Amino acid sequence: MQRFASTFAILLLACGSAWAQDNGDDLRAPLPIRDQFLLSNGFFFFEPERARVLGEYESVVMISAADSNTFAKSDWINRRAFGETGRMTEASELAGSRARIGAPIYLVDGETQRVQLSMRRGFGGNFELGLTIPITRTTGGWSDALIEGVHNTLRIGNANRDAFPRNSETVALQNGSTEYVRDRSGTFALGDVAISGKYELSFFEERHIAMSLSGALELPTGNASALSGSGSLDGGLQVLASRDIGRTTVHAALGILRLGSDRPLGIKSQTLVTDTVGISRLLAEKTSAIAQVTVSESPFRNIGIAEFTRRTYQLSIGMQHRIGHSLIAYAALIENVLTYENSADAGIACGIARRF
């Protein structure tokens, strides 16, 4: 956790040297939070963004960080762990040799820590380009005790978390002829770099409505075996829309993702649908609150595991605050809803942006 925080602080100082102009739309922009599921860390996913493009010669630099805890498992492992009175010391054995019963099976226990540098530039003609550079790792993390404590306080159960060691990483996926097992934390490494473009439809400009078309291409610069990349070229197209209603803005996005194959995880090329709906509201001149839900198909929905055939539902709730006339900072909580074995349990995210 200390290393994660220090990395974010260094990037924050680098961003802080830029000069910025004040812009009211930025406070009500969606939270730039992608899918947080540990197994999906290497795949491309859209991050929610505002529909309006930057003006000509305008730029935005953003540093963002997210730390998310995942504890997900097959129903067979859930039954095996039920009734355990102590924490199993060999979680990797449970996910590996003892679970080889012929059917696809998985156990994902760990955290993803992700820091991103994003840069966007307006070129006029309602067009902008963007570049995103992620630094990421998977680890045992630090938050298991906190999450268990919250669950116990709310009396909502821990889904057999008590049967496994705290703050240890075990990732195991058995899918036909493919078997992936990982039980040691990695180091921070470069993920897949993404290049994006966005074009705003000018027809809606004077109606408190913004609509744009966005496309992105993600390059295989990360290591698929370490879950920091997919090992193939990914991309997608999406439609973004927003509507201003007084101090409130409603956001919506509908995207189509084209994901290449991921050999270590045994995933074939596929097309997914994802969408986000959110609402932001100015609470004061320099502060806003935001809530958004992202619904996505799982990249693992075709490998024969029932939990992955369902859509994932990720809720993000946060606040943004303007610091002086130069910076906008945000902080958010992330939680899965409706489905719990195909997405990250909980997470935190924060970031800071400057327009110049």
Residue 156 has pLDDT above 90, yes or no: no
Let me know: does 132 contact 114? Beta carbons within 8 Å.
Answer: no
Q: Bigger pLDDT: 337 or 102?
A: 337
Q: Tell me what the mean pLDDT of segment 49-58 comes to.
A: 93
Q: Which residues contact 120 (CB under 8 A, 6 or more apart)?
A: 54, 59, 60, 128, 129, 130, 131
* 178-182/189-190 β-pairing: unpaired
Q: Tell me what the mean pLDDT of segment 48-69 comes to.
A: 95
Q: Which helix (H) or strand (E) holds 147?
A: helix 144-154
Q: What pLDDT band is residue 335 in, cutting at 50, 70 and 90?
A: very high
Q: Tell me what the mean pLDDT of segment 145-173 comes to.
A: 82
Domains and CATH numbers, the chain: 2-355 (2.40.160.40)
Q: Which helix (H) or strand (E) holds 15?
A: helix 2-15
At residue 203, the pLDDT reads: 77
Q: Which residues contact 85 (CB under 8 A, 6 or more apart)?
A: none
pTM, entire model: 0.86
Q: Tell me what the mean pLDDT of segment 281-292 comes to.
A: 96
Task: Look over the chain and give the mean of its residue pLDDT values, rounded to a whole number.
Answer: 86
**Chain segment 215-272, per-residue pLDDT in tens:** 999 999 999 999 999 999 999 999 999 999 999 999 999 999 999 999 999 999 999 9
Q: What pLDDT band is residue 104 in, cutting at 50, 70 and 90?
A: confident
Residue 142 has pLDDT above 60, yes or no: yes
For a pLDDT cut of 70, what percent of the chain falls above it?
A: 85
Cα(216)–Cα(195) distance, integer angstroms: 6
Residue 324 has pLDDT above 50, yes or no: yes
Cα(70)–Cα(48) distance, integer angstroms: 21
At residue 7, the pLDDT reads: 42
Specify burial of residue 256 (Cβ count, 10 A radius: 0-12, 13-18, 19+).
Answer: middle
Q: Bigger pLDDT: 121 or 175?
A: 121
At residue 144, the pLDDT reads: 86
Let me know: does 318 contact 349? Beta carbons within 8 Å.
Answer: yes
Residue 2 has pLDDT above 50, yes or no: no
Among 305, 286, 296, 231, CA closest to 22? 286
